Structure 1
Amino acid sequence: MSRARLVSRLAPWIAAPALLGLLLPLQRAWMPGQGSIGWALDLFAHWQPLYALAWLLACALGALRDRRWLLALPLLALPWFTASPVAPHADGPPELVIAVANVNIRQRDPMALLDWLDRQPAHIVVLTELSPDYAEALARQGYGGFPHRALHPLASPPGLGILSDRPLHDVRVVADRLGALRMEIGLDIEGRRVRFVAAHPKPPMATRKYRARDDLLRELAASAQQTPMIVAGDLNATPWSSALLGTDLRSLRRATGWTPTYPNEGKGLFSIGIDHVLVSSGFAQTGAERGPDIGSDHLPVRAGLRWRGE
Structure 2
Amino acid sequence: MTDDTPPRRRLSVGWVLLALVEAPVLAAVVTGLAAPYLPPRPYWWAQLVAIGLPYAALALAVFAVVWLVGRRWRAVALHAVLLLIVGVRAGGPGRLAAPADGPDDLVLTTFNVPETGPSREALGDSVVAYVGATEPDLLLMQDARVIARSEQRRRAGEVVQVEAVRTRLPYRLRLPARLASHPGWQVNSTDVPFFVREGSGVEVVEQEVLILGVERDPDVSLALRSHLRWDGRDVVVYNVHLRSFGSPKPWQDPDVRLASPRTWAPYLRRYRGVYAQRGDEAAEIADRIADETLPVVVAGDFNSTADNWSYRRLRTAGGVDRADAVQAAGGRAWGRTYHASRPFVRIDFVLVDPALEVTSARTTPVEFSDHRPVRVGLRWREESE
Tell me the TM-score normalised to structure 1 length.
Answer: 0.80
User: 1:120 aligned to 2:134?
Assistant: yes
Cα offset, 1:42, TM superposition: 1.6
Distance change (3 Å), C-alpha of 1:150 and 1:119: same
Question: Distance between the aligned counterparts of 1:96 and 1:127, measured in 2?
Answer: 17
Tell me, in whole angstroms, the C-alpha distance in 1 between the residues paired with 2:26 and 2:145: 42
* Aligned amino acid, residue 174 of structure 2: A
RMSD of aligned alpha carbons? 3.5
Amino acid at match of 2:222: L
Where do 5+ consecutive residues of structure 2 fail to align?
1-6, 93-97, 147-156, 180-184, 215-219, 246-270, 328-333
Query: Aligned equivalents of 2:19 and 2:47: distance in 1?
Result: 24
Q: Quick one: which amino acid aligns to residue 219 of structure 1?
A: D
| C-alpha displacement of 1:297 | 1.1
Counterpart mapping for 1:259-298 below 5 A:
259-265=335-341, 267-268=342-343, 271-298=344-371
- In the TM superposition, 1:107-256 aligns within 5 A as 107=117, 108=120, 109-131=123-145, 135-140=159-164, 142-150=166-174, 159-165=191-197, 166-178=202-214, 179-203=220-244, 205=271, 206=273, 207-224=275-292, 226-245=293-312, 248-249=316-317, 250-251=319-320, 252-256=322-326
The 3 A distance-change label for structure 1 pair 200 and 138 is: closer
Deviation, 1:18, is 2.7
Q: Is the 8 A contact 1:168 1:185 kept in 2?
A: yes
Q: Secondary structure at the match of 2:276?
A: helix
> Given the superposition, is the C-alpha separation of residues 239 and 84 from structure 1 closer, same or farther in structure 2, using an over 3 Å criterion?
farther
Q: How much identity, in percent, do the aligned residues show?
A: 21
Q: Distance in 2 between matches of 1:9 and 1:65?
A: 13
Q: Does residue 53 of the first structure (1) align with residue 58 of the second (2)?
A: yes
In the alignment, structure 1 residue 28 sits paired with structure 2 residue 28? no
Tell me the alpha carbon deviations over residues 248-277 of structure 1, each in whole angstroms, 9 at most, x when there is no partner: 535133223452211224x33xx2111011
Question: What 5-or-longer segments of structure 1 have no aligned partner?
Answer: none
Shift in CA distance, 39/177, structure 1 to aligned 2, threshold 3 Å:
same
Residues 77 and 105 of structure 1, relative CA distance in 2, 3 Å threshold: farther
Task: Note closer, same or farther for the CA distance 1:222–1:299 as it changes in structure 2 (3 Å cut).
Answer: same
Stretch moving more, 300-309 or 246-255: 246-255
* Aligned-residue offset at 1:167: 3.6
Answer yes or no: is the 8 Å Cα contact 1:229–1:280 preserved in 2: yes
Q: In structure 2, do the counterparts of structure 1 residues 134 and 23 end up closer, same or farther at CA, with 3 Å as the change threshold?
A: farther
How many residues in Structure 1 have an aligned counterpart in Structure 2?
A: 297
Shift of 1:282: 1.1
Query: Residues 128 and 158 of structure 1 are in contact (CA less than 8 Å); yes or no, is this contact kept in structure 2?
Result: no
Query: How far, CA to CA, are the matches of 2:133 and 2:194 in structure 1?
Result: 19
Shift of 1:7: 9.2
Judged with a 3 Å threshold, the aligned counterparts in structure 2 of structure 1 residues 170 and 129 are, in CA distance, closer, same or farther, namely same
Paired with 2:53 and 2:140, the residues of 1 have a C-alpha distance of 27
For residues 63-117 of structure 1, give each alpha carbon's deviation from its aligned partner in whole angstroms, at most 9, with x where no partner exists. Answer: 56446466535643433322589xxx99962611110111024354133233222
The residue type equivalent to 1:162 in the other structure is F
Paired letter, 2:125: M
1:256 partner SS: helix
- Would you say 1:102 and 2:108 are equivalent positions? no
SS at match of 2:159: helix
SS in 2 for 1:168: strand
* 1:203 Cα offset (Å): 2.5
Measured in 2, the distance between the counterparts of 1:239 and 1:289 equals: 16
Alignment of 1:19 onto 2:26: yes
**Rg larger in structure:** 2
